[in-house]
Amino acid sequence: MKDIVNIGLIGFGTIGSGVVETLNRNLDLLENKVNKKVKLKKVVDLDIKTDRGVVISPGILSTDIDDILEDPDIDIVIELIGGYQPALKFILRAMENGKHVVTANKALIAKHWDELMISAQRNHVRICFEASVGGGIPLLQPLNECLAANHLESIYGIINGTANYILTKMSEESRNFEDVLKEAQEKGYAESDPTFDIEGDDSAQKLIILTIIGFGIYVKQEHFHVEGISHITQEDISFAKNELNSCIKLLAISKLVDGNLEIRVHPTIVPMDHLLSSVNGVFNGVYLVGDIVGPVMMYGPGAGMLPTASAVVGDCIDIIENREKPVLYGPAETSVRKISNINDLKSKYYLRLLTEDKPGVLHEISGILSEYNISIGSMIQKQENEGIPIFLVTHTALEMEMRAAVEKIDQLDCIKDKTIFIRVL
Amino acid sequence: MKDIVNIGLIGFGTIGSGVVETLNRNLDLLENKVNKKVKLKKVVDLDIKTDRGVVISPGILSTDIDDILEDPDIDIVIELIGGYQPALKFILRAMENGKHVVTANKALIAKHWDELMISAQRNHVRICFEASVGGGIPLLQPLNECLAANHLESIYGIINGTANYILTKMSEESRNFEDVLKEAQEKGYAESDPTFDIEGDDSAQKLIILTIIGFGIYVKQEHFHVEGISHITQEDISFAKNELNSCIKLLAISKLVDGNLEIRVHPTIVPMDHLLSSVNGVFNGVYLVGDIVGPVMMYGPGAGMLPTASAVVGDCIDIIENREKPVLYGPAETSVRKISNINDLKSKYYLRLLTEDKPGVLHEISGILSEYNISIGSMIQKQENEGIPIFLVTHTALEMEMRAAVEKIDQLDCIKDKTIFIRVL
């Protein structure tokens, strides 16, 4: 690489401003480390008028994407506009023009994996996306490189800060979902439309990326179970805490069981003695198990302007130092036989049922569970005004049978609301 | 690099056997990843008769070090004999003969840093030592690369599994130090002479390596405070747990304060809401704070045959994929102005004093503390048979004054045993 490395930044939003701020603060550190001059040559955005709160020389701002993509002096393109288009188009053009790419765009990486990797290989450039999963946490590179001697056995990730913030607050302050969500929105930890975060889609996209790198297999989101946290109540969290010494976390899980890959995103009851239970607030944590190393966890800020910029600039340093590194994420061959269906999952389950206060209710419910081979581990029934909530924890059962049993239970006259079940780690 | 990569392994002990076992199990994975044949060509040890419990073809065993160092076909030398000599001599000869080196030898790396790095640079080979700190945990590479956009602010490491196992057991099972140490020795978690682990020397060597990579400065062990855990009693642990909602951990700390580096190893009272309090048993955890990323933690098995082998083989893969990567650990220039003396530390302190049961004792003690500008935050005094233990927690005080005060207190007639003080995180 030349003695001066020129960087073009597409997208001057929150993360883009974080990258500019990081370079403003730590350019010396960077340049000394790679022993080259590093220059942010151009920043392109549709809006170059808004004050982003960071120092930038006006001359490098532009609204014309060609100022980056067609400038032969630019070596590395950072894409931070997010979304599918025009991000995909810009990245592909950048690579065709011989530029390395750094992006935080999990949606794009998760959806267009093959196209992006093939283009990078064909054009002999690198594409790096450490920031796309776990924000500032060193995660993808350690998994892909430091742990490469391992067949991965499982990934358990708390990889959505919004959902984790809400669940943590609900637990710490005994508050309701809606109440905490509103606070999270006011504090800027949740979007005005929070669906993408709280319904698990964000975690699913990140899990797709982790699964490729960990297991060498690409699974589309349509092909696995994704379930959010909007149905979790304070009752569930209190029961988990007081009766099971556990907490509830939105987990993204990829796990080899008998050669088949379980891949799923859902709220999960996590025992307090598991390290993941200590990952609180907006922080992320990813717990990995390799066949040689055993369990490993990486923890840190999963989002935010500066933490994400840390990973983006880290990728730039990696590219400058190792521009010839092959574009190979994950094992070259997968050891996964097939993707398991969620119906084949075996798990313990927590159930919350809202029943009428009349004789025989429990008899009817336990009859249906028994019919589907589900045995009850423990049960609590509480007197309430509008009905009697019953809380159950089952022994290990088959998801298919659990779903069928719950469907049948919910048709009983004595059941007053949809029965909720949560898987237990 | 050639299409066949030949590896020579020096040292067929525990970790060496782990490397052989890892290659036995996962050679395919490795070869597919790097797209080359990888061959363990020779294993040299003084003892090639003992059965190590791993499958190995007898033809590759040798007692002659030249079978590795003088074989021009060997590309990578793995050194796992440990200690200073002949390990240093072997590694230097390997590098002079153009071979890359992978080692887990923390003592050697910590002591002979400059000599080893200069030799690697001069001979255009790489030297990797991920396994030397934190065993199988991806730690040095993420710190050196993924976080390279950051000025590091602090490192807090639980990096000795033996000490952490003892402290964890003392806390969980309310047992005494000697009792748990004995059990740890029986289980193989502690050496028959445990001094090196429990007195902090092992942590100190690892901290030297973390400090070079994190802060770009080499500090000899003689130049910082190293204190072990053998004086910690069940009383201390109970007080921390019950009165302070905290635990006691042996922490290795490097921390920039006003441009000066605090570097020290000592038992520390850690609040239960700090993630490091969840690092239990033989596991290790390193908590880092960067100016851009904020806090990050890496957790995992800090020792053991296979976990350590995972890091050793991971280094081999890294070398095969990136043989031209420059040998540069840490920032190119340090931002540390000077190394702080422990006497200049400002900390809260926990004190345990054993006093005679007579009037005026507390008055005398508090008088001395006050004389040294140390104010008391909280205090508990318990009635016992052989004397009255008093437990104090101070507000922030200067270490120099704390030491002088304790020295003076210990000269009082009413003090029946050496006063213990523990720093509070």
Q: What is the CA radius of gyration of chain A?
A: 24
User: B32–A138: do the CB atoms touch at under 8 Å?
Assistant: no
Contacts A311 to B, Cβ<8 Å: 146, 293
CB contact under 8 A, A293 and B301: yes
Whether pLDDT at B386 is above 70 = no
> Which residues of chain B lie closer than 8 angstroms to A19, CB-CB?
none
Adjacent-strand bridge partners of B352:
B391, B420
Name A79's Cβ contacts closer than 8 Å, sequence gap at least 6: A10, A11, A87, A90, A91, A94, A101, A102, A103, A105
In this complex, the residue of A22, A141, A294 whose CB is nearest that of residue B142 is A141
Cα–Cα distance between A333 and B35 in angstroms, integer?
Answer: 11
The shortest CB-CB distance from B33 to any of A136, A142, A148 is to A148
> pTM, whole model, 2 decimals?
0.96
Least Cα separation, residue A318 to chain B (angstroms): 7
Task: Please work out, in degrees rounded to the nearest 5, the angle formed at the alpha carbon of residue A185 by the alpha carbons of A181 and A189.
Answer: 95
- Burial label, A31 (beta-carbon count in 10 A; 0-12, 13-18, 19+): middle
Q: Write the residue in B25, B294, B304 that is nearest to A301 by C-beta.
A: B294
pLDDT at B384 over 60: no
Task: Provide the pLDDT confidence category of residue B186 given band limits of 50, 70 and 90.
Answer: very high
B343-424 domain in CATH 3.40.50.970? no
pLDDT of residue A384: 56
Quote the CA–CA distance of A359 and A382 in Å, as a whole number. Answer: 15
Q: What pLDDT is recorded for position B383? A: 64
Sort out which chain A residues have CB atoms less than 8 A from B298's CB and list them: 138, 142, 296-299
Interface A-B: count of C-beta contacts within 8 A: 198
Q: How close, in Å, is residue B362 to chain A by CA atoms?
A: 39
Distances from the Cα of B195 to the Cα of A269, B126, B189, B222, B251, angstroms: 41, 33, 13, 17, 16
Average pLDDT over residues B112-141: 97
- Residue A326 is predicted with a pLDDT of 81
- When the candidates are 3.30.230.70, 3.30.360.10, 3.30.70.260, 3.20.20.70, the CATH number that belongs to B140-302 is 3.30.360.10
- Closest residue in A to B30 (Cα–Cα): A149
The answer to whether A249 and A164 are in contact (CB under 8 A) is yes
Q: Residue B409 in contact with residue B380, Cβ under 8 Å?
A: no
ipTM of the complex: 0.95
Ramachandran quadrant class, B281 (left: phi over 0; alpha: psi -120 to 50; beta: rest): left
User: What pLDDT digit, counting tens, does each position of A186-207 carry?
Assistant: 998 899 999 999 999 999 999 9
Q: Are A137 and B296 in contact (CB under 8 A)?
A: yes
- Mean pLDDT, to the nearest integer, of B237-248? 96
Question: CB-based contact (8 Å) between A281 and chain B?
Answer: no
Test mutation, A20, A310, A324, chain B, max B CBs within 10 A: A310
CA dihedral A54, A59, A61, A67 (to 10 degrees): -150
A4-135+307-321: CATH, from 3.60.70.12, 3.40.50.720, 3.40.50.11890, 3.40.640.10: 3.40.50.720
Residues of B within 8 A of A130 (CB-CB) are 146
Cβ contacts of A138 on chain B, cutoff 8 Å: 138, 142-143, 145-147, 296, 298
Q: Do residue A306 and residue B325 have CB atoms under 8 angstroms apart? A: no
Contact B321 A326 (CB under 8 A): yes
pLDDT tens, residue by residue, A317-327: 999 998 888 88
Please give the average per-residue pLDDT across B167-195, as a whole number.
95
- The CATH number given to A140-301 is 3.30.360.10
* pLDDT digit string, tens, across residues A232-280: 999 999 999 999 999 999 999 999 999 999 999 999 999 999 999 999 9
Cis peptide before A271 (omega within 30 of 0): no
Residues A299, B294: C-beta atoms closer than 8 Å: no
B306 at A interface, C-beta within 8 A: yes
pLDDT of residue A357: 79
Q: Does A290 touch chain B (CB under 8 A)?
A: yes
Q: Please identify which of the residues A106, A169, A206, A249 carries the catalytic annotation.
A: A206
A187 part of the active site: no
pLDDT of res. A386: 58
- Cβ neighbours, 10 Å, residue A370: 12
| Distance between B387 CA and the closest CA of chain A, angstroms | 37
Spell out which residues of chain A touch residue B297, defining contact as CB-CB under 8 Å: 297-300
CA distance from start to end of chain B: 48
Whether residue A32 and residue B331 make contact (CB cut-off 8 A), yes or no, is yes
The domain spans of chain B are: 4-135+307-321, 140-302, 343-424
Of residues A218, A422, A309, A225, the one with CA closest to residue B150: A309
Contact yes or no for B166/B172 (Cβ under 8 A): no
pLDDT digits (tens, 9 = 90+) for A49-86: 999 999 999 899 999 999 999 999 999 999 999 999 99
- DSSP one-letter string for A289-340: EETTTEEEEEEEE-S-HHHHHHHHHHHHHHHHH-TT-----S-SS-----BP
Q: What is the mean pLDDT of each run of 10 residues along chain A (425 residues)?
A: 90 97 97 96 96 94 98 98 97 98 98 97 97 98 96 98 97 96 93 96 98 97 97 96 97 97 98 96 97 98 96 97 86 94 97 88 93 92 71 97 98 94 97
Reported confidence tier of residue B259, pLDDT bands at 50, 70, 90:
very high
Predicted pLDDT of residue B385? 53
- Contact list in B for residue A216 (CB cut-off 8 A) is none
